[in-house]
């Protein structure tokens, strides 16, 4: 290199510059070969990924087809049936797979019910082919029948006796009597009795709605079967009871009981509900609910 530099009359710095330039030219010359090498491998990778995705899609489609693929079943082996609570063996006889049957049974275990043929077709595991095959044998209506308004005409037929209406007196009913009403079980009946005893008795049927576990919908259904008798409710001596005793009433919190006792100690006994209304700590809703249970003597 030095001889070549001397031949061309190059200085030390010029020789170094010439060496760096030579290296750069060499790298530029190799760049096309390096690019083609990596490009080829990248293309191979893309082809490999594409083939893998295609295989996965084929596997998914085959699994989906398997889910809806019915057992081989002869047309002569089909029979009229109600799909509600149909045994597993019967579903198999209709040509359904174990997977399809499992989905149908899970639907029923969660409270699902088939009311019309269309409900069966809505099951995603029942394909169009399955439904078209079994539809003539389903013993359900095409649609839910709409109750028509009947016009009363004189009839020679003997009319059926009216159904006896159930009425339960909330004032005295025990848990057994309450369970006669549709929608009230042992647990709910026990809660109603405990709540009534804690209050000192019911003065209104609406108070049943305050029992834990009774929704507005349930109350509407049972309201017509509930009544309040002439039993006198238990009164609470507002002028004698201490804080601990007052808090035992479901409508009186400890904070409200404390306000009542402190006010009573400062201003004397309450003569009527009007005296309680003077307390800013007690709102109108509280006074309305507690009023029937107060004894001012």
* Domain ranges within the chain, ordered by starting residue: 2-68, 75-137, 168-227, 236-295
- Predicted confidence at residue 142, as pLDDT, reads 72
- Answer yes or no: is pLDDT of 224 > 80: yes
pTM of the complete model: 0.45
The torsion of the CA quartet 129, 132, 133, 135, rounded to 10 degrees, works out to 140
* 89, β-bridge pairs: none
Decide if 68 contacts 127 (C-beta within 8 A).
yes
Q: What is the mean pLDDT of residues 163-188?
A: 85
- Answer yes or no: is pLDDT of 98 > 80: yes
Mean pLDDT of the chain: 80
Same fold, 168-227 and 236-295: yes
- Predicted confidence at residue 145, as pLDDT, reads 55
- Answer yes or no: is pLDDT of 293 > 80: yes
Looking at per-residue pLDDT, the higher value among 13 and 227 belongs to: 227
CA nearest neighbour of 86 among 183, 78, 61: 78
Q: Which listed CATH number (1.10.150.280, 3.30.365.10, 2.60.40.10, 3.30.200.20) goes with 236-295?
A: 1.10.150.280
Q: What is the mean pLDDT of residues 242-255?
A: 93
CA distance 52 to 68: 25
Q: Which listed CATH number (2.40.160.20, 3.20.20.105, 1.10.3720.10, 1.10.150.320) goes with 168-227?
A: 1.10.150.320
- Predicted confidence at residue 261, as pLDDT, reads 94
């Amino acid at each position: 290199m030095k001889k070549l530099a001397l031949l061309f009359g190059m200085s030390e710095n010029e020789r170094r510059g010439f060496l760096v330039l030579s290296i750069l030219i060499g790298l530029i010359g190799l760049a096309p070969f390096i690019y083609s090498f990596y490009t080829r491998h990248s293309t191979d990778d893309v082809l490999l990924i594409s083939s893998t995705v295609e295989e996965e899609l084929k596997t998914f489609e085959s699994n989906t087809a398997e889910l809806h693929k019915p057992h081989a079943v002869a047309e002569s082996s089909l029979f009229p049936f109600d799909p509600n609570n149909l045994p597993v063996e019967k579903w198999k006889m209709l040509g359904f797979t174990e997977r399809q049957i499992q989905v149908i049974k899970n639907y029923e275990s969660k409270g699902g019910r088939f009311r019309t043929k269309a409900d069966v077709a809505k099951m995603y595991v029942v394909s169009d082919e399955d439904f078209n095959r079994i539809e003539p044998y389903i013993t359900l209506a095409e649609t839910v029948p709409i109750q028509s308004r009947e016009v009363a005409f004189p009839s020679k037929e003997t009319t059926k006796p009216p159904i006896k209406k159930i009425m339960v007196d909330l004032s005295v009913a025990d848990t057994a009597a309450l369970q006669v009403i549709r929608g009230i079980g042992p647990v709910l009946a026990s809660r109603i009795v405990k709540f009534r005893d804690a209050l000192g008795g019911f003065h209104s049927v609406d108070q049943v709605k305050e029992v834990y576990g009774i929704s507005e919908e349930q109350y509407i259904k049972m309201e017509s079967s509930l009544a309040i008798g002439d039993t006198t409710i238990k009164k609470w001596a507002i002028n004698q009871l201490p804080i601990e005793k007052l808090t035992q009433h479901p409508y009186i919190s400890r904070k409200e009981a404390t306000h009542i006792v402190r006010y009573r100690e400062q201003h004397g006994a309450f003569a009527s509900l009007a005296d309680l209304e003077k307390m800013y700590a007690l709102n109108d809703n509280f006074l309305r609910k507690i009023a029937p249970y107060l004894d001012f003597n």
